[in-house]
């Protein structure tokens, strides 16, 4: 599926890069470096309707990015090292990139990890224990599978979606996303999804049906010193929709569970969804109070010395399937797209 806005963004980024503007402006906009956000890394596309295609890049593209970063002298660092550099304001050091992957997809182990090992680069995986144990589900992926299968989909006492054609299915997916995000509370989402799955004879919320690493696999990858495991809440809820006590509980329990299962307490945190609608000032203050060294959002931006004062609302650069070309990745990491995406702001915070 091609978004008109994406075509404009791509044209602007190609122009910025090929005109030399992006590389020239890197000193002003690029700051100390970037935190890259990935989700899935796999050679094939398993998004039946194409609507979750943006969550995946190929291992070949990941390797291309790492080779490119190294060739231009950028250092790929761990999140500990990132935090150290921002807090100490180490000027004169080379620009850094920290690579992060959200949700703990099992392709991180099978397809991304070999690339990280080959190039000896550190990486961070933000894991949500509820996704591993079946108390939470990757509902946007289950919804896509559900809509791909269904002819008509309905919520008892709620809306009904016709899913006869591919066009209808895609429209239904976006409508269902809105319904789940806006009309349902975080605690209602899973029971409603289970009911919809039952209607279609589909599994829902069984750990083996999900594409995330199990504890054994997570332990295996976490044992490598290149890997940092960060916390991503227990249930992958939108934290802005929860009470302050629940927000703190989700953060603390996810860290407790990861420490218990992996033997090391996570010091870095990622907000589920991470947009301004899912994480703000209140959530950043709670993450700080819970003792995390850093917390990342999904807001678009590079990392600057100013972030020293607020390490709990760090923006990232999403490298995803919709922008799977080196020219886009390099332009975004140069920082020139940060003010474009943030109403002129060079430094993006909570
Ligand atoms: Zn997530």
Domains of the chain are: 4-135+214-341 (3.20.20.370), 139-200 (no CATH)
56 CA to middle of ligand 1, Å? Answer: 13
Q: What is the pLDDT of residue 207?
A: 66
Around 126, how many Cα atoms within 13 Å sit in the side-chain half-sphere? Answer: 31
Residues with CB under 5 A from ligand 1 (ion): 102-103, 272
Give the confidence band of 81 by pLDDT, cuts at 50, 70, 90: very high
304 CA to middle of ligand 1, Å? Answer: 24
Give the confidence band of 92 by pLDDT, cuts at 50, 70, 90: low
Q: Do 255 and 265 contact (CB within 8 A), yes or no?
A: yes
Q: What is the pLDDT of residue 168?
A: 93
Q: What is the pLDDT of residue 252?
A: 98
Between the ranges 51-55, 186-190, 290-294, where is the mean pLDDT highest?
Answer: 290-294
pLDDT at 2 over 60: no
178 CA to middle of ligand 1, Å? Answer: 17
Mean pLDDT over each residue of the chain, to the nearest integer = 89
68 CA to middle of ligand 1, Å? Answer: 27
Give the confidence band of 89 by pLDDT, cuts at 50, 70, 90: confident
Q: Where are the beta strands (DSSP E) in the chain?
A: 33-38, 40-41, 56-57, 75-77, 96-102, 123-127, 152-154, 160-162, 227-231, 268-270, 294-300, 314-318
Mean pLDDT of 46-69: 89
| Torsional class of 103: left (φ above 0), alpha (ψ -120 to 50), beta (otherwise) | left
């Amino acid at each position: 599926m091609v978004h008109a806005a994406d075509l404009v963004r791509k044209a602007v980024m190609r122009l910025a890069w090929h005109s030399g503007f992006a590389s020239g402006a890197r000193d002003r906009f690029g700051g100390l470096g970037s935190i890259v956000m990935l989700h899935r890394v796999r050679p094939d596309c398993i998004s039946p309707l194409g609507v979750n295609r943006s969550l995946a890049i190929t291992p070949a593209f990941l390797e291309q990015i790492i080779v490119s970063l190294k060739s231009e002298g950028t250092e790929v660092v761990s999140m500990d090292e990132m935090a150290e550099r921002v807090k100490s304001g180490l000027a004169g050091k080379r620009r850094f990139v920290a690579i992060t992957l959200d949700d703990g997809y099992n392709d991180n182990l099978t397809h991304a990890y070999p690339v990280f090992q080959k190039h000896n680069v550190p990486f961070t995986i933000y894991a949500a224990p509820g996704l591993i144990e079946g108390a939470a589900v990757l509902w946007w992926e289950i919804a896509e599978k559900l809509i791909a299968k269904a002819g008509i989909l309905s919520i008892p006492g709620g809306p009904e979606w016709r899913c006869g054609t591919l066009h209808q299915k895609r429209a239904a997916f976006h409508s269902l996303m809105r319904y789940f995000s806006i009309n349902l509370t975080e605690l209602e989402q899973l029971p409603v999804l289970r009911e919809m799955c039952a209607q279609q004879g589909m599994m829902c919320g069984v750990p083996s049906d999900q594409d995330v690493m199990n504890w054994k696999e997570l332990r295996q990858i976490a044992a490598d010193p290149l890997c940092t495991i960060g916390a991503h809440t227990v249930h992958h809820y939108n934290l802005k929709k929860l009470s302050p006590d629940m927000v703190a509980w989700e953060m603390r329990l996810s860290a407790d569970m990861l420490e218990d299962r992996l033997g090391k307490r996570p010091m870095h945190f990622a907000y589920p969804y991470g947009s301004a609608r899912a994480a703000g000032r209140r959530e950043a203050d709670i993450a700080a109070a819970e003792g995390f060294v850093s917390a990342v959002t999904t807001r678009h931006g590079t990392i600057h010395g100013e972030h020293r004062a607020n390490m709990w609302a760090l923006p990232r650069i999403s490298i995803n399937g919709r922008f799977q070309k080196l020219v886009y990745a390099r332009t975004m990491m140069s920082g020139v797209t940060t003010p474009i995406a943030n109403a002129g702001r060079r430094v993006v915070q909570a």
